[in-house]
Amino acid sequence: MDIIATIWLRSMKRYIRSKSRIIGSLGMPVFFLVLLGFGLNAVVNIPGTEANYVGFLVPGIVAMSVLFTSVFSGIQIIWDKQFGFLKETLVAPVSRLEIMLGQTLGGATTAFIQGLLILVFSLIIGLTIVSAGGFLIAFGFMILIGIAFTSFGIAIASRMEDMHGFQLIMNFIIFPVFGLSGALFPIDTLPVWLRSLTLADPLTYGVEGIRYGLTGTSQLDPLLSFGVLTAFTVAMIGAGAHLFRKVQI
């Protein structure tokens, strides 16, 4: 446990010190929220909810922020590989699983904080709080997304030699995962083929879970969302731990 805490602590120190990265990675979500939210607010009506489009969009953008930060945190292991720091960790008499879990919790915490910042921002621009309990539900889903996708990033990073493949991952995995998740549009009214794609996207359950917490209504049963996302998280931790164990130095 103290080893996991040590590695987590290092991630936190690095995160808090990289102010430009904190601000930088807030840019895109804020941009999406403000432009799409206020741009489409007047013309979009979400059937079945009383929320306006901005209110509908906030959970999606929070999930987006958590998703991007967590994948990026996981993939950062490549930097450690390239700059040699990973060697220092791997030759220490500690298990790979402890290292991997420490990295995962570190990444998930960072991602959670980034999501929280978006949430605070949306309170400033006028989101209303439904209930305190709902907030806690949303937090739970944010943490699950963070853990799942940091593990995913670690799994990817364990197989990559350098950052060259990073754009590939962003364009062909992360953006589709975000785009298909129902972060930007309601999934009930989609054509059947697209709806099945969104239901195959694990992030959909995260977005719906956060939406249930923040707005009180969602199109998927929150228990279903919680079950699917938890299963996905466990699977990703397994995959990350397995691939990380095979990393050669």
Partner 1 sequence: MVAIRVSQLTKQFNGLVAVDNISFDIQEGEIFGLLGPNGAGKTTILSMLATILESTAGEAVVNGISIAANPDAVRKSIGIVFQDQSLDEELTAFENMDFHGRLYRIPKAVRRERISTLLELVGLADRKDDFVKTFSGGMRRRLEIARGLLHEPKVLFLDEPTLGLDPQTRNHLWEYIERLNKEKRITIILTTHYMDEADKLCGRVAIIDKGKIIAMDTPQNLKNQIGGDVVTITSTKIAALADAISGSWIKTKEQHDGFLTIHLENAETHIATIVTAAEKQNIPIAAISIHKPTLESVFLHFTGRTIREEDASNKDHMRMRARLWRGK
Is position 18 an interface residue for partner 1 (rule: CB under 8 A)? yes
* One-letter identity of residue 19: K
Is position 249 an interface residue for partner 1 (rule: CB under 8 A)? yes
Site for partner 1 in 75-114 (CB under 8 A): 83-85, 87-89, 91-94
Is position 245 an interface residue for partner 1 (rule: CB under 8 A)? no
CA–CA gap between residue 94 and residue 17 (Å, rounded): 27
Compute the CA torsion angle 244, 149, 110, 30 (nearest 10 deg).
150
Q: Which is nearer to partner 1, 93 or 133 (CB)?
A: 93
Q: Which is nearer to partner 1, 34 or 163 (CB)?
A: 163
Do residues 25 and 69 touch, judged by C-beta distance below 8 A?
Answer: yes
CA–CA gap between residue 194 and residue 57 (Å, rounded): 19
Q: Does an H or E element contain 118, and which?
A: helix 96-124
Provide, rounded to whole angstroms, the least separation between the CB of residue 157 and partner 1. 16
Provide, rounded to whole angstroms, the least separation between the CB of residue 87 and partner 1. 5
- How much is the CA Rg of the chain, to the nearest whole Å? 18
Is position 3 an interface residue for partner 1 (rule: CB under 8 A)? yes
Residues that bind partner 1 (CB under 8 A): 2-3, 6, 10, 13-14, 17-18, 83-85, 87-89, 91-94, 249
